[in-house]
Chain A
Amino acid sequence: AQRVTQPEKLLSVFKGAPVELKCNYSYSGSPELFWYVQYSRQRLQLLLRHISRESIKGFTADLNKGETSFHLKKPFAQEEDSAMYYCAPRFQKLVFGTGTRLLVSP
């Protein structure tokens, strides 16, 4: 079965600290990988996709095929990064994880 796991429901850090939001998936094949974000009172939106190999708002995500992981990282968290983050592999359709709430305190 296709599954995606985000083990942390809540990640709380101080401003300037490094952040890593974990995502593991189990798929037979090579899915496309996305991170979506939902800021307070805003709608769900794409943060980044693996295929683009881009850095958005200082975030990067590295695919580790051996570990089937796609962790989201940022070296220095900012208060405005506080939001709900969803990992979403796509094999035939998007499958969202349960999400991690990132709280960045001043």
Chain B
Amino acid sequence: GAGVSQSPRYKVAKRGQDVALRCDPISGHVSLFWYQQALGQGPEFLTYFQNEAQLDKSGLPSDRFFAERPEGSVSTLKIQRTQQEDSAVYLCASTPEGQISYEQYFGPGTRLTVT
């Protein structure tokens, strides 16, 4: 396939707005991950799905962040009432098997800027 895709690639939001970021994993991939990458930092884990089940959401920074994968394929990361500190690149990755140790295939990311 074409690899992991993410949309939009760029998003500018005013503080307080809600945003939704989409991830299309490689077809058939079981596991899906979301990461947040702030400027000058490495990616930081947000949450992990195995099929439609959200098995780990320990990295979500606040209850304003919510992720779902209702049919076990496409995933959406939603951020409510965006704040300036939410500005970052949001990366999605998927793996073919239900184990985190397999190679993760990354998408191009969504750059979110909160003004």
Contact = CB atoms under 8 A, between A and B. Distances in A.
Secondary structure of the B contact surface, majority rule: loop
B42 A93 contact: no
Interface in B50-100: 56, 59, 91, 93, 100
B27 to A, nearest CB: 17
For chain A, which range describes its interface: under 10, 10 to 19, 20 to 34, or 35 or more residues?
Answer: 10 to 19
For chain B, which range describes its interface: under 10, 10 to 19, 20 to 34, or 35 or more residues?
Answer: 20 to 34
B106 A98 contact: no
Interface string A38-58: 000001111001000000000
Contacts of A95: 45
Contact of B100 (A93, A97, A99): A93
A90 B101 contact: yes
Contact of A94 (B104, B108, B109): B104
A86 interface: yes
B44 A96 contact: yes
Interface of A: 32, 43-46, 49, 86, 88, 90, 92-99
B49 interface: no
Interface of B: 3-4, 33, 35, 40-45, 48, 56, 59, 91, 93, 100-101, 103-109
B108 A98 contact: no
Contacts of A43: 3-4, 106-109
A84 to B, nearest CB: 9
